[in-house]
Structure 1
Amino acid sequence: MTASIARVHVNGIEVGSLPAETYNAIANKVRKDRRLYLAWGFAAAAALLNLLARFYRSLPSVVVGLLLLCAAISPETFTGIVAELKTANPDAITYAVRKLLGFICITFAVMAPMVAILFPGFVRFQSPFDQALSREIRSLLEVPAEGLLKVVIGHPKSE
């Protein structure tokens, strides 16, 4: 029985291969580096803050868009909203805005993980573990190209 081989692809092009045991040893070495856990935490927090900033940047456009949509679809409802805002007590408006903001924050907290899972490219999270593993393997195989590293472990072809 032959040993498994890890075939290494960078940007979809096979750049070399190495024994699967060597690959597993490198992967275990990377997983044992405690600094990468801290770096992963910072990268995850940065990705979440970036998603939150993008959400809040788009929030005024969404609110104005919804008001314009309401005016186009149901002018009576829009007129009623404007009339209520003109006659409402400022404390009642502040209370309503605070409630709406709380609802929006809870909705964001529920939707953010689902967006990250369903649309992984939208979040732009790069794992420090994957980067370190890629750097180690490219250094071992002397591959200067940066890019997406893919490792396929299989048995060598028998001739």
Structure 2
Amino acid sequence: MTASIARVHVNGIEVGSLPTETYNAIANKVRKDRRLYLAWVFAATGAVLNMLARFYTSLPSVVVGLFLLCAAFSPETFTGIVAEVKTANPDAITHAVRKLLGFICIAFAVMVPMVAILFPGYVRFQSPFDQALSREIRSLLEVPTEGLLNVVIGHPKSE
């Protein structure tokens, strides 16, 4: 029985191969590095804060867009909203804005996981573990190219 090998591809081009045992040893070494756990927490926090910043910067555009859609498709409703805002006291307006913001935040909380699953490139989270593993393997194989590293583990072809 032949040992399995790990074929290494960078940016879709095969750049070399390693024995699976060597690959597993490198992966275990990377997993034992405690600094990477802290780096992962910082990277994950940064990704979440980036998404929150995108959400809050796009929030005014979303609210204005909803009002414009309301004016375009239901002018009576929009006129009623404007008339109520003109006659309402400030506390009622604040309460309504807070309810609208709460609804938008709930919609955001529901949409974020769907966006992360359907469009993973939009989140832009790069795991420090993957980066360290890629750096170790590229160093071992002497591959100077940066890029997406993909490892396929399989059995060597018999001739």
What is aligned with 1:35?
35
TM-score by length of 1: 0.96
* TM-superposition CA deviations, 1:62-95 (whole Å, max 9, x none): 1111111111111111110000000001001111
Aligned runs of 1:129-148 on 2, under 5 Å? 129-148=129-148
Q: Distance in 1 between matches of 2:71 and 2:96?
A: 20
How many residues align? The count is 159
Q: Is 1:90 aligned to 2:95, yes or no? A: no
* TM-superposition CA deviations, 1:22-46 (whole Å, max 9, x none): 0000001111111111111111111
Q: CA deviation at 1:104?
A: 2.0
Q: Secondary structure at 1:150's aligned position in 2?
A: strand
Q: Distance in 2 between matches of 1:102 and 1:66?
A: 15
How many percent of aligned residue pairs carry the same amino acid?
90
Q: Secondary structure at 1:157's aligned position in 2?
A: coil
Q: CA deviation at 1:108?
A: 1.9
Q: Distance in 1 between matches of 2:67 and 2:100?
A: 15
Q: CA deviation at 1:60?
A: 1.0
Q: Distance in 1 between matches of 2:72 and 2:98?
A: 27
What is aligned with 2:153?
153
Q: Distance in 2 between matches of 1:50 and 1:94?
A: 28
Q: Distance in 2 between matches of 1:76 and 1:107?
A: 25
What runs of 5+ residues in structure 1 fail to find an aligned partner? Answer: none
What is aligned with 1:102?
102
Read off the aligned partner of 1:152 and give its amino acid letter: V
Q: CA deviation at 1:117?
A: 1.8
What is aligned with 2:119?
119
Q: CA deviation at 1:103?
A: 2.4
TM-score by length of 2: 0.96
Q: Secondary structure at 1:48's aligned position in 2?
A: helix
Q: Secondary structure at 1:72's aligned position in 2?
A: helix
* TM-superposition CA deviations, 1:97-147 (whole Å, max 9, x none): 122222222332232222212211110110000000000000000000000
Q: Distance in 1 between matches of 2:78 and 2:46?
A: 39
